[in-house]
Structure 1
């Protein structure tokens, strides 16, 4: 299929273990965990597969050059020397993303500007014409990473962030990121072996990501485009072969996924998004106030949700979290209930003891994914049953 090369999958803080496991299951080689990233090796077909399938990756980068620098002038010179005609023509467009972690190089926008100048000048001097910058839909998105004095230039094979799955046309206030939703489902241990409920479903992201996990549907099968589709070595036949092979691994799901929201507008948007993802047969969205519901299904239930934190929605958080605890306690026996919050003070008002707390980040907000185990009958009775 072609020779292997190094790639770097970027992720959210705390999801490195999940991403490492995903890559190993896909068949990546030389998998190594970093901070908010996992590096690996594979061929072009595997790059296509990683973009299609990885649930917890934000971007897949292909490093093409490493060098040390001591000044912006050296950065310009090193970038200028690179054979950019292998990746771009003067009629193409490009965009630069830069991240810096250095005492000497501190302004990522200035670094991006120097790299842009070097590429543009190279084309102008060799061909008399330069490619233009297009920040939204470039032919080639280039990633610059500077750590201390070490610089890595990479091609962004994903294009836009991989959390943009392609199924979401409508969102509500404070929507959950798709990569975060998938990671929370995986961290909670749900594997499609029982019903799942998101009682505050908003635009339906958790329910949709759960259905895709349960059915083993590739995370990004609904995306309109990946960055590599504009590359000079784009191989549409290879991509379609990879796409067919991953779709052949889709499986049936024998339980149900439910989403509640009390806002009619949210319910309407969630139903639209479920339909866009072609998952209507697996997901039921209903208008309901969670605090007025009780468990309606037989057997074990898995709850996962993203309640308001008080960051953007202004409500009495202590009272709200107390209602969460009361609803779980009185209406949801035989349930594992998980939710994410950054409001540690309000969390105390739930009135139940979490059996697990996992540190995660929602954007820049340090948060906790907490688990409450609601037993069928009392905990003591459950213990006696198990030990009789």
Structure 2
């Protein structure tokens, strides 16, 4: 496969199968699941497409070297051997990100410093000029991964994390990560074939990600910058063709996406974000208290939401989750309701038996994505008409 090379996509715990499926659907070769990552093969155009189109990826790395190191000198020498001026121009800024689990080195900042020294020295030797470090907003990001004695050096093609889609300008308290939201929606089986509701929509992330899945819009279509744009081999014409081809695969959506929040500020912020994502044609947001609502449509409803856990937003957990269950039972027949929470005790107060529980993480909080199937009438009635 001419022009193909190995890449690695980072993701959240538990999202590896979804990311692998996304990659295969996009056309990646040799897809293999790891822990919080998936490796695959493709060419430069596919790397552009992966950054644009993958919903559950946080980063796309292009490994450029792998070697064993047993001391600081070997680390420096191996990094120095790489032809750094062939990758990017000395006028670009750069940063080194190091992740490690090694007996040889104890300090990731020290490793980053030595890699930086080797890179800069190579530029000086070849071009008599050196690029500058910018840890806040670099043009080029380089990832160093040390596991025991094996060191892998990669170019970070994404730059800032791919959860930074470019549509969310206004945020609410405790907003959910965009990649996490997309993964939870896919895990819930959301495919855009029914109506959708987020009854506690906050800054609108679930609504926007649900809209992009429903319309098959690339998740990073609103994003303006990637690190690969600063590489010497960047092909702007090819990149533009891939963006245009991806947009040609979008589809119409013939159902409703609805968001509620009782806070006026949240409604306003989510409306701004939906507008920024160019999805206001499909998404409606209203100021409503979920506990005082009824199902807004007669047909099947798909619900996904992120209620307060009692961590950053203080609530009476027993009362709050009890009201969630009561609202489901009384006012939301014919609904598949999914919620994520890190407060596992809170689920006991919902008063309904979940039909599915999926382990995941929201940041560092171990959480569960839980499904409640709310039937038209009782379950017994449904099974025995």
State the TM-score bracket (shorter-chain normalisation).
over 0.9
What residue is the counterpart of 2:120 in the other structure? 120
Alignment of 1:28-177 (within 5 A): 28-177=28-177
1:2 is displaced (CA, Å) by: 5.9
Q: Distance in 1 between matches of 2:302 and 2:350?
A: 18
Tell me, yes or no, if the aligned pair for 2:92 and 2:230 is still in contact at 8 Å: no
SS of the aligned residue for 1:210 comes to helix
Deviations along 1:77-131, whole A, 9 cap, x unmatched? 1111111111133322111111102233232222111111111222234433321
Equivalent residues, number: 385
Q: Distance in 1 between matches of 2:120 and 2:370?
A: 50
Q: Distance in 1 between matches of 2:106 and 2:255?
A: 51
What residue is the counterpart of 1:312 in the other structure? 312
Q: Distance in 1 between matches of 2:62 and 2:16?
A: 18
**Once superposed, what is the RMSD of the aligned Cα atoms?**
1.2
Q: Distance in 1 between matches of 2:16 and 2:44?
A: 23
Alignment of 1:1-388 (within 5 A): 3-385=3-385
Q: Distance in 2 between matches of 1:284 and 1:19?
A: 29
Deviations along 1:155-209, whole A, 9 cap, x unmatched? 0111110000000100011000000000000000111111010000000000000
Tell me, yes or no, if the aligned pair for 2:89 and 2:232 is still in contact at 8 Å: no
Q: State the TM-score, normalized to the length of structure 1.
A: 0.97
Deviations along 1:292-343, whole A, 9 cap, x unmatched? 1110201111110001111111111121111111111111011010000000
Higher alpha-carbon deviation: 342-351 or 54-63: 342-351
Any gaps of 5 or more consecutive residues in structure 1? none
Tell me, yes or no, if the aligned pair for 2:306 and 2:340 is still in contact at 8 Å: yes
